[in-house]
Structure 1
Amino acid sequence: GITTTTPCVKSFRFTQFTRHLFVIVEILPLNSIKTCKNSPLESVLRCEILRTGTLRGHYLSTRKGRDILAFQNIPYAKPPIGELRFRSPQPPEPWNGVLDASKKSRICIQRNIFTFDENVTGDEDCLYLNVFTPRKNGNLDVMVYLHGGGWLAGTASNVGPQFLLDRDLVLVTVNYRLGPLGFLSTGDSVCPGNNGLKDQVAALRWVQDNIAAFGGNPGSVTLFGESAGGASTHYHMLSQASQGLFHKVISESGTALGLWAIAPNGSSKHQAMKVASLLDCPTEPSRALVSCLKRRDASDIIKTDTAFMQWNIDPTLTFKPVLERSVSKDDEIFLSAHPLKLIVNASAVPWMTGITSADGAFVASRVFGKNLIDDMNEKFEFVGPLIMHYDEISKSNQQIVTKKLSDFYLNGGSMNRGTVSQVVNMFTDSWFLSGASEAVKLHVDSDAAPVYYYYFDYRGTYSYSTLYGK
């Protein structure tokens, strides 16, 4: 542990377990950053002054045994509770004393339907991030990770620094609001939507303000994420609200052009009204609807997810990014137009995107694993549009698409244990490949910045397909 009587650490008490040494950092504007010149661990510890207060972190070890510094559960916005529910994130309040940043970050309230979890877990007070740094040298490249989970599940704690921090870089992982608490929209200025994405913007602004205190270079930030996190990174390239907050982007298995990545026009208002009706709230006007939902228990709001499911857990992604028509005077628009229109003026930063060869396995596994294949074969004209996200087109066009999918992937036959690879390919293409390929073509045509397109086909010892297959 460390004993200290001033913000600048002057005395230390070591034990044989040195990796549990607590590290104190204090937080102010970047132009006020200072270094404790008299620190006996000056090479790995500095007393930075940032904006909100003093942090106490701890040591972790990487895969190769390198000691790194971890600062976890750092607030980057006010808790989005009470009157702040359904509002854009607000700057965090300063704190007194030393904030313990050595505990695992809490998760945002959710029910993970992808793992068939029946329980609601997490907290509504969840706008926290984690910083991991070797602190070997200052001015290190920064990587900011946005987790996946369909904008309804997942957490910054799903990933850690054990591999990346074998290299000299600073890693930031971010929580953001999920499900209706992060993406409910009334389609007007009362609750325009996209609060989960606006949380991410707030976290990126926090990084710009504060990351130099942790040895990071705010002028070299790579934003990366997977699945819905990958689509989120792509959205930030398209949003004016995110301009200048990052310098490279990696969108893994998800782009803003994914069939699942944007709400159809007009659907968000109906979804908000349905949630309100389920919880005995007025459905109109929007102000009364939102005011009532602010008084409902957060877990009850999350539990409305089952009311939107029409087959098994589909459609899975009910609440997602929306076009914002108007916002209140204290808010800002995140998504002003459809991504197809915004790509022309996207951030001119290097972009890498791609998919894995079996991205669709997580969809196929629940169909085969829960013995739903016979039911899906029987109801494919109904289930196909739901599970592959073309249910918003006309019924006649749905029938045409369904027939073409069946002919192309299944030779007009049915799904069975002998067609597992074809079914995986069908879901991989519809969920991931189609959006990635279209986005890459448009970015290449714009010729604004380098584009890197990958296809990952290596199956290692550990794989999500094994997890979902069980």
Structure 2
Amino acid sequence: MDQEKIIWQLIWIFLASLYLVHGQEVQITQGRLKGSSEKSRNGTTYFSFLGIPYAKPPLGELRFKEPEPHPGWTEELNATKIGNECPQRSLANNQLIVGDEDCLFLNIHTPKLDPGLKLPVMIYIHGGAFKAGSGGIFRAKFLMDRNIVFVTVNYRLGILGFLSFLDDVIFGNLGLRDQIFALKWIQGNIAQFGGDPNRVTIFGGSAGAASVDYLVISPLAKGLFHNAIIQGGTATSPWAFIPQPIALQRAEAVSTLVGCPSRPTAEALNCLRNVSSEVLVQTTDKFLELGMFPLGPFSPVIDSYLHPDQAILPDYPLALPPNPGLNIILGFNSYEGNMIASLACYNDFYLAISMETDMARALPLVTCVQDQVGYHEKGRLVTKLVDYYLDGSNITKDNVVKFADMGTDLIFGHPSFKAALNYYRNVPVYFYLYDIDPRVPIASLFGICPHIKGPSHGEEIIYFFDDIFPSIKLNKKEEELSNRLLDLWTNFAAIGVPTSSWTPVSSDRIDYLHMTKTGFTMKRGLYEDRMKFVDSLPLLTNRYNVRHEVEKTEL
């Protein structure tokens, strides 16, 4: 009998191993899913369910409309392949337009398929200036060495995701509405993957960070998550927010450019629904004025024209408090501005030299503030910027690092500073400054520049996700840094506190964790002179004094 039991146990182990190889199955409200098994960095087995449709494809009559529940499927869905990315220019080859409008998919990775586990859930929202990217490229190999459930999400991009006529016909912010719809889907289904719907953390970088920040203040996202991590981008980053008048001008221009009427909006909608997604992606390019700028011509907008119960963003971001009960990690990299400095420097400073002919137009574009300053203020703004950062000179190899500082402050640093001031009295805010030189600078993707230094925009991302840049393999010290960052982020997801030694912001001077290659230490007073200078500029952000009760301003 004992021998027979042993034989049956061996058979069971063999069959179970086959089951792991060929995937796992999960029953959710929409139907049955078949996933696959993978290995983490340390060799732990985890399970992936890819390309799960969380909403109906936004096609035909659903284009420019709210996401709607997916009806489900009768046969088992093969969830072993990443779903379509949304229409966009290819990140690998800018000459190609890729993606499909049937793109509202999410991906789930879990160490165990046990509804009773109630593991912390981490949801990553991808970046890409609200016009590119997808959740599927962010894999879970590093994160799955922690006891969490990891989710990535696609959302509508560009014109299809953010076109707004400032009315209830084409109302904009559809990409954010997709994100909120996905969060609701996760609330209803994540327990089947071992996740705890009462311990949900959203995090993201760049436009994903700005998205997280929007969700922190959006009344429609209240209660759908509990922690937020905002990495290099906020709702008031100048590329992440379009003032209402400019949003309307661009919407009407889109209609005209594709041969549709711009009024009434109902007729524009009927016509725009018949324009191919490829043409709409191409039309986005017509709004670029200088190289790749403006970065995000179609981005979120205040939708105060909707009923209060329907508005994603009923007021300017700095006029809105954070949703109650949240914990927030917020920060940026010390040389985020290398992104634009490398562009200015590349090819013997070709862009920098071309900017000299009309700095009043070019500098606001390159620093992304062109929509955040009045037309008659641009000359004064540019003079102040050039005097403060460049000592009144043009951009050269001798001051390109200072130009990087300008980009850091305007595009990422000051918006993050203002967000912290807006939040810290209401919820715990753990601020960081990432200041670790990269071995292989990601800024080189924008252009080779030997004169710049420090970590650029998105530089930390390779420590969270494998295969983002396949040519960059972490060495031993980098793996140690990766594990340290992952410990902070996943501990925060589990208990709402990254570590006891990282204390939250307690005053307007900003307490922050300074991350350097020699250690992580707490400091107070974040780039104070630089932040004070940007406070003095005639920018839209500075109309809002978030240290005191905010006086609302019509845009």
Amino acid at match of 2:393: G
Mapped to 1, the partners of 2:23 and 2:69 lie a distance apart of 26
Q: Sort the Cα spacing of 1:309 and 1:362 in 2 relative to 1 into closer, same or farther, 3 A.
A: same
Native 8 Å contact 2:201 2:225 kept in 1? yes
Mapped to 2, the partners of 1:125 and 1:136 lie a distance apart of 28
2:23 alignment counterpart: 22
Alignment map for 1:151-190 (pairs within 5 Å): 151-190=130-169
1:402 alignment counterpart: 382
- The Cα shift of 1:26 comes to 1.1
Matching of residue 381 in structure 1 with residue 371 in structure 2: no
Q: Please give the per-residue CA displacement for 1:133-186, whole angstroms capped at 9, x wherever unaligned.
A: 001761100000000111001110221101111111000000000000000011
1:129 alignment counterpart: 106
Q: Residue 323 of structure 2: which of 334, 346, 371 is its match?
A: 346
Q: Please give the per-residue CA displacement for 1:45-95, whole angstroms capped at 9, x wherever unaligned.
A: xxxxxx100000001111111111000000000000111001111111110
Native 8 Å contact 2:222 2:323 kept in 1? no
Structure 1 unaligned regions, length at least 5:
1-9, 28-50
Native 8 Å contact 2:332 2:413 kept in 1? yes
Native 8 Å contact 1:410 1:422 kept in 2? yes
Native 8 Å contact 1:190 1:327 kept in 2? no
Native 8 Å contact 2:341 2:401 kept in 1? no
- The Cα shift of 1:449 comes to 1.4
Mapped to 1, the partners of 2:18 and 2:407 lie a distance apart of 49
Mapped to 2, the partners of 1:434 and 1:225 lie a distance apart of 18
Matching of residue 77 in structure 1 with residue 55 in structure 2: yes
Amino acid at match of 2:24: V
2:532 alignment counterpart: none
Q: Residue 310 of structure 2: which of 319, 332, 335 is its match?
A: 332
Q: Residue 239 of structure 1: which of 218, 237, 256 is its match?
A: 218
Q: Sort the Cα spacing of 1:216 and 1:386 in 2 relative to 1 into closer, same or farther, 3 A.
A: same
Matching of residue 443 in structure 1 with residue 423 in structure 2: yes
Amino acid at match of 1:352: I
SS at match of 1:418: coil
- The Cα shift of 1:100 comes to 0.5
Amino acid at match of 1:336: P
TM-score by length of 2: 0.75
2:286 alignment counterpart: 307
1:98 alignment counterpart: 76
Q: Residue 187 of structure 2: which of 200, 208, 226 is its match?
A: 208
2:480 alignment counterpart: none
SS at match of 1:165: helix
Mapped to 1, the partners of 2:288 and 2:57 lie a distance apart of 30
Native 8 Å contact 2:220 2:311 kept in 1? yes
Mapped to 2, the partners of 1:12 and 1:241 lie a distance apart of 47
Amino acid at match of 1:184: L
- The Cα shift of 1:20 comes to 3.2
Q: Sort the Cα spacing of 1:248 and 1:191 in 2 relative to 1 into closer, same or farther, 3 A.
A: same
Q: Sort the Cα spacing of 1:91 and 1:12 in 2 relative to 1 into closer, same or farther, 3 A.
A: farther
2:452 alignment counterpart: none
1:415 alignment counterpart: 395
1:144 alignment counterpart: 123
Matching of residue 459 in structure 1 with residue 437 in structure 2: yes
Q: Residue 334 of structure 2: which of 349, 354, 357 is its match?
A: 357
Q: Residue 209 of structure 2: which of 219, 226, 230 is its match?
A: 230
TM-score by length of 1: 0.88
- The Cα shift of 1:14 comes to 5.0
Judge which range, 63-72 or 414-423, deviates more: 414-423
Q: Please give the per-residue CA displacement for 1:414-452, whole angstroms capped at 9, x wherever unaligned.
A: 1122323112111111110010001111212xx221111
Amino acid at match of 1:70: S
SS at match of 2:214: helix
Amino acid at match of 1:266: P
Mapped to 2, the partners of 1:243 and 1:163 lie a distance apart of 30
Native 8 Å contact 1:192 1:325 kept in 2? no
Matching of residue 281 in structure 1 with residue 260 in structure 2: yes
Native 8 Å contact 2:364 2:370 kept in 1? yes
Amino acid at match of 1:23: Q
Mapped to 2, the partners of 1:135 and 1:462 lie a distance apart of 35
Alignment map for 1:33-112 (pairs within 5 Å): 51-111=29-89
Native 8 Å contact 2:107 2:153 kept in 1? yes
- The Cα shift of 1:333 comes to 1.9
1:431 alignment counterpart: 411
- CA-based RMSD of the aligned residues comes to 2.2
Amino acid at match of 1:163: F
Q: Sort the Cα spacing of 1:13 and 1:282 in 2 relative to 1 into closer, same or farther, 3 A.
A: farther
Native 8 Å contact 1:360 1:431 kept in 2? yes
Mapped to 2, the partners of 1:188 and 1:274 lie a distance apart of 16
SS at match of 1:96: coil
1:293 alignment counterpart: 272
Q: Residue 95 of structure 2: which of 95, 118, 121 is its match?
A: 118
Mapped to 2, the partners of 1:463 and 1:74 lie a distance apart of 34
Native 8 Å contact 1:188 1:325 kept in 2? no
Mapped to 1, the partners of 2:15 and 2:26 lie a distance apart of 18
How many pairs were matched up?
A: 433
Q: Sort the Cα spacing of 1:19 and 1:429 in 2 relative to 1 into closer, same or farther, 3 A.
A: farther
SS at match of 2:446: helix
Amino acid at match of 1:238: I
- The Cα shift of 1:121 comes to 0.8
Judge which range, 14-23 or 312-321, deviates more: 14-23
Mapped to 2, the partners of 1:292 and 1:387 lie a distance apart of 34
SS at match of 2:108: strand
1:372 alignment counterpart: 351
Mapped to 2, the partners of 1:395 and 1:269 lie a distance apart of 17
- The Cα shift of 1:288 comes to 0.5
Q: Please give the per-residue CA displacement for 1:7-26, whole angstroms capped at 9, x wherever unaligned.
A: xxx99975988763311111
Native 8 Å contact 1:390 1:398 kept in 2? no
